[in-house]
Amino acid sequence: MAFEVKPLTGAIGAEIFGADVSDPAQDGDLLAAFAAHGVIAIRDQDITLDQLTAFARRIGVINVNRFFAAVPDYPEVALVVKEPDHKTVIGERWHTDHSYDRVPAMCSILHAIETPEIGGDTVFASMYASFDALSEGLKDMLRSMKALHSSQHIFGPARKDAEVRDTGRIGNVDLAIQDNIHPVVIRHPLSGREALYVNPEFTVSFDGWNKEESQALISYLERHCTKPEFTCRLRWSPGTIGIWDNRATWHKAVNDYAGHRRQMHRITIEGVALTESHMAA
């Protein structure tokens, strides 16, 4: 291995030093670190947008985001930016990307271009470790369940924080029509481990449960899954490339840098259909 991997915590996350994502020979080791740790921060990557997209294509098929503004001349690259006068950040609630799609995304790749001197971190939670720590009775119940995930309340006309739309950071509200049902517990396609697959942002309800019952369970799972022992915090710096597994982690952006600018470039990689844990055991 041509680079150094330093775990961030016992449950999730690792920093990588000495790697070069423009070198295809390192792809296999980088993907192995990604699969093992759920989220990796590859430090000191001074690369072009062409090199970033080439790296992403070697990982898988790029998903062109429906809602985010794109980097000019690079439709595959979403522009994630917060200007000094913006109050709201995108992704401030715990979630995993694209769970509303029929085939959810494999991973997201985020390249830090401009970051505040202090703040602007992203926090991640392991859906392996948090599921493993549940009682056997609750795990058995969750294995038998399915949940509805939707994009409509986040990216559609009903979105409450109009500032994000008004500043052009997201658009195409008419395309926010995704409603899909997924298993609540999946057998991860890379690791073979069981992982919890619901999230507070996009999961609307559990199949056969009413809204009040569903929200009560989602709230409980949010409190449980975001305990410190299941999480890590990623401090960004210009040149860092973060890659996280959308089937095994949650994340949220920390909005603590008012008056400062933060710009990131994001690429999402297509995944595969999810399988119920007991079906693939």
* Catalytically annotated residue among 37, 251, 262, 265: 251
β-strands 179-183, 146-150 pairing: antiparallel
* Catalytically annotated residue among 37, 66, 265, 266: 266
* Catalytically annotated residue among 43, 86, 97, 169: 97
Query: Radius of gyration over alpha carbons of the chain, in Å?
Result: 18
| 251 included as an active-site residue | yes
* Catalytically annotated residue among 66, 86, 95, 149: 95
| 266 included as an active-site residue | yes
> 184 burial class (0-12, 13-18, 19+ CB within 10 angstroms)?
buried
With contact defined as beta carbons under 8 Å apart, do 41 and 247 qualify? no
First to last CA, the chain: 32
3-state secondary structure string across 213-269: HHHHHHHHHHHHHCCHHHEEEECCCCCCEEEEECCCEEEEECCCCCCCCEEEEEEEE
Distinct helix (H) and strand (E) counts, the chain: 7, 17
Catalytic site positions: 95, 97, 251, 266
